[in-house]
Amino acid sequence: MSKLFFPVLLSLIIGSSELCAQTRISSPKSIDDKVSELMSKMTLEEKVGQLNQYTGERLATGPVTANSTKYEDIKAGRVGSMLNVRGAKDTREVQALAMQSRLKIPLLFGLDVVHGYRVTFPIPLAEAASWDIPAIEGAARIAAEEASASGIHWTFAPMIDISRDPRWGRVMEGAGEDPYLGSIISSARVKGFQGKGLGTLDAIMACAKHFAAYGAALAGRDYNSVDMSERMLHEVYLPPFKAAMDAGVATFMNAFNDLNGIPATGSSYLQRDILKDSWKFPGFIVSDWGSIKEMVPHGYAKDNREAARLAIQAGSDMDMESHSYLPYLADLVKKGEVEERLIDDAVRRILTKKFEMGLFDDPYRFSNEAREKKTLNSAKNKEAARKMAEKSIVLLKNEGQILPLSKNAKKIAVIGPLGKSKEDMKGFWSVKWDDDDLVSLYEGLQKKVGAGSRIEYAMGCTISDTSRAGFADAIETAKRSDVVIMAVGETFDMSGEGNSRANIGLPGVQEELIKAIQATGKPVVVLVMAGRPLIFNWTSEHVPAIMYTWWLGSEAGHAMANVLFGDYNPAGKLPMTFPRSEGQIPLFYSYKNTGRPPLNENDRRYRSIYLDLPNTPRYAFGYGLSYTQFALSDLKLTKNSIHSSDSIVVSCTIRNTGKYAGEEVVQLYLQDMFASVTRPLKELKDFKKVMLQPGESKKLQFVINKDKLAFYDQQMNWTTEPGEFNLMLGTSSDKISLERKFQLIN
């Protein structure tokens, strides 16, 4: 090789790299670099401003603190986010104030878009009853399309608190009692809200809330303390949050409750050890409304200044309406009581999301009135809401096949305090509109039946008071009819936040009204409209047809009418156990056997029973009927014993043995027969929802791998142990029709 070769080659290499350097088109700065560059210009006060969130007045969703400097604060860069400001016009106006600040850092606009924005979908617990994951994701997607067209960047949803206590009013917001179903729904809702990713114009940031274990409030009383084992926390209450995290959720919200003595807002175990360190969560945590300052009444902080210190040190990045970060954090840093790096970390997390949302490119990109007008309240969205509502309805009883009703029914009586209600159909967490166009049951029926049919309405009684003055008229109305449809339950504000009930029976004298109408001898169908499982034992035992219709949103009436007349065959399954009595609560399907399980219903001495009630629920988790019937058969396992690295393919056949096309949810449960800690008698590990024509059969397959066999052992290691498992297939947690044991060898 000539002596000249290498020097020439070397000069060529150096030359080309210099040439590149001179002509290099500067690669676009990363968001991290942009954040660093912006933060380098920020004063400490401006950084603290980013951690401060205020509410709009008109739509406040918590106890409001008088705040005369709000808009001045925004102009001075002392506010990072607003909640409860909505609409392209209003958000644009408020954003314009932020653009007057020195660094023009845009605001984030957050709102509780929990089950729909302009078109209201069924409450989340109702949607969970559909077990239709694509539909649930689609509902969140539509909510995001509407909200993002209306200036909203961020929804405080999904609420993914597992709860096994229907006295707690916020069960209506979640996905029920089961961590497996709750995790799948959590992931679907996050994906629905965030769509193709932050920065796309129809995506909004989701918020996994309330972190954590808020649904286990003592005695079902909202905001109450929570005490539980680390195993229960990790096995039951955290999985939906991990699912949200794995789905890429942009933000978390902490919780009002204290957990094992530490308020969630001040818990570095939850917010730093688990979420930010172990799970490596890159987003930011917003406090719940006032939850930072509420550490004072919790008896955990002596004043708001200490609460601010405790919260930022624990990892609560943004202060929602505690008015504690803005007045105290800078001083805490200057006095050396809080390290500035904690502020910097929180600011970086928040600014990163603002860059990801494209707000620095265009702070008004979501506040476009033309797009808002085009996107909101479309017929397509309403149709989707109606379909979601139909899927959410649970048929609890249909004795004598009263349902579906004949379209030739000539005289229909609608009786009960919710028969013509529109407002209650929207549920507790709907976005409030002056011109809401919700469809009542009565209107839905009117639209459904032909001109030849007559529909008469009698309220009979109100929801809550004890007057029976309307009974006589209701009875006469029933006597003039061929069939009676009763609409009973709760008002929309008897569930939801701050609305716990110690007695979860049908309020007022509604069940007496049902008895009086039943006594007429007319065929009676009872529709229960509520945000939580209610107790209605007499009705359950005496009325032939019962449907649970929750609060179904904008298209409630059309959905109920379609199901009542068989244009949609109900397929909903309960996502929560329905107790016979408050005395049984907490009551859930995945209970443990105890050392003294009753061997049968006559086994009554020294057994884990009640003297006055069966242990069983009124209606079980996973229960729901159809107008048709289904049969499961041919259970097969590819192996009867596996190593933990193996998997088993489970198959079965499902057949529609009835005369209507319909959907069924086949549920797969597992029991670990013996382990180093006691294990539940059954746990949901998979399910499939399938449509079958009359007489049609389909083969279903499930895969069992070690993840479905794992649990937390005595040392809280997530592990599997060799031993025997029982596999169960059924159409409800209490309707198991196929089962088979298999072995895990190691």
What the block records as the tokens of 644 is: 């933990």
Among 137, 288, 294, 686, binds ligand GLC (CB under 6 A): 288
Using the structure block, give the residue that is written with the tokens 């797969």. Answer: 668
User: Is position 289 an interface residue for ligand GLC (rule: CB under 6 A)?
Assistant: yes
Alpha-carbon dihedral of residues 718, 722, 726, 732, nearest 10 degrees? 10
Among 34, 39, 44, 62, binds ligand GLC (CB under 6 A): 62
Q: How far is the CB of 210 from ligand GLC (least distance, A)?
A: 6
Q: Please, what's the largest Cα pairwise distance for the chain? A: 114
Which of the residues 138 through 157 are near ligand GLC (CB under 6 A)? Answer: 156
Question: For residues 289 and 565, which CB has a smaller minimum distance to ligand GLC in the complex?
Answer: 289
User: Is position 597 an interface residue for ligand GLC (rule: CB under 6 A)?
Assistant: no
Cα 14 to the chain's mean position, in Å? 59
Identity of the residue numbered 172: M
Site mask, ligand GLC, residues 497-526, x = CB under 6 A? x-----------------------------
Q: How far is the CB of 358 from ligand GLC (least distance, A)?
A: 24
Q: Return d(Cα 668, Cα 301) in angstroms, integer.
A: 47
User: Is position 627 an interface residue for ligand GLC (rule: CB under 6 A)?
Assistant: no
Identity of the residue numbered 449: V
Question: For residues 53 and 562, which CB has a smaller minimum distance to ligand GLC in the complex?
Answer: 53
Which of the residues 187 through 216 are near ligand GLC (CB under 6 A)? Answer: 209
Question: For residues 258 and 288, which CB has a smaller minimum distance to ligand GLC in the complex?
Answer: 288
Beta bridge partners of 442: none
Q: How far is the CB of 289 from ligand GLC (least distance, A)?
A: 4
Alpha carbons within 13 A on the beta-carbon side of 714:
3
Q: Which of 47, 50, 52 is nearest to 322 (CA)?
A: 52
SS3 191: helix
Site mask, ligand GLC, residues 155-184, x = CB under 6 A? -x----------------------------
Q: How far is the CB of 256 from ligand GLC (least distance, A)?
A: 7
Q: Are strands 262-263 and 284-286 parallel, antiparallel or unpaired?
A: unpaired
Integer CA distances (angstroms), 347 to 49, 195, 341, 403, in order: 9, 25, 10, 58
Q: How far is the CB of 253 from ligand GLC (least distance, A)?
A: 6
Using the structure block, give the residue that is written with the tokens 């902080």. Answer: 301
In terms of C-beta density within 10 A (0-12 exposed, 13-18 middle, 19 or more buried), how is residue 657 classed? middle
User: Is position 446 an interface residue for ligand GLC (rule: CB under 6 A)?
Assistant: no
Using the structure block, give the residue that is written with the tokens 């380098």. Answer: 40
Site residue total, ligand GLC (CB under 6 A): 9
Q: Are strands 394-398 and 545-548 parallel, antiparallel or unpaired?
A: antiparallel
Among 34, 36, 61, 364, binds ligand GLC (CB under 6 A): 61
Question: For residues 209 and 353, which CB has a smaller minimum distance to ligand GLC in the complex?
Answer: 209
User: Is position 112 an interface residue for ligand GLC (rule: CB under 6 A)?
Assistant: yes
Q: How far is the CB of 47 from ligand GLC (least distance, A)?
A: 24
> Is 672 an active-site residue?
no
Question: For residues 83 and 727, which CB has a smaller minimum distance to ligand GLC in the complex?
Answer: 83
Q: Return d(Cα 356, Cα 572) in angstroms, integer.
A: 38
Task: Check whether the bond before 212 is cis (ω within 30° of 0).
Answer: yes
User: Is position 87 an interface residue for ligand GLC (rule: CB under 6 A)?
Assistant: no
Q: H-type helices in 357-451, by residue range?
A: 369-375, 379-392, 441-448
Question: For residues 114 and 648, which CB has a smaller minimum distance to ligand GLC in the complex?
Answer: 114
Question: For residues 112 and 582, which CB has a smaller minimum distance to ligand GLC in the complex?
Answer: 112
What the block records as the tokens of 551 is: 């609060």
Question: For residues 112 and 683, which CB has a smaller minimum distance to ligand GLC in the complex?
Answer: 112
Catalytic residue chosen out of the listed positions 132, 165, 288, 672: 288
First CA to last CA distance, the chain: 63
User: Is position 294 an interface residue for ligand GLC (rule: CB under 6 A)?
Assistant: no
Question: For residues 190 and 556, which CB has a smaller minimum distance to ligand GLC in the complex?
Answer: 190
Is residue 208 within 8 Å of 182, Cβ to Cβ? Answer: no
User: Is position 323 an interface residue for ligand GLC (rule: CB under 6 A)?
Assistant: no
Q: How far is the CB of 285 from ligand GLC (least distance, A)?
A: 13
User: Any idea what DSSP says for residue 77?
Assistant: T
Which of the residues 538 through 567 are near ligand GLC (CB under 6 A)? Answer: none
Q: Which of 610, 679, 577 is nearest to 165 (CA)?
A: 577
Q: How far is the CB of 85 from ligand GLC (least distance, A)?
A: 12
Q: How far is the CB of 112 from ligand GLC (least distance, A)?
A: 5
Active site residues: 288
Residue ranges in contact with ligand GLC by CB under 6 A: 61-62, 83, 112, 156, 209, 288-289, 497
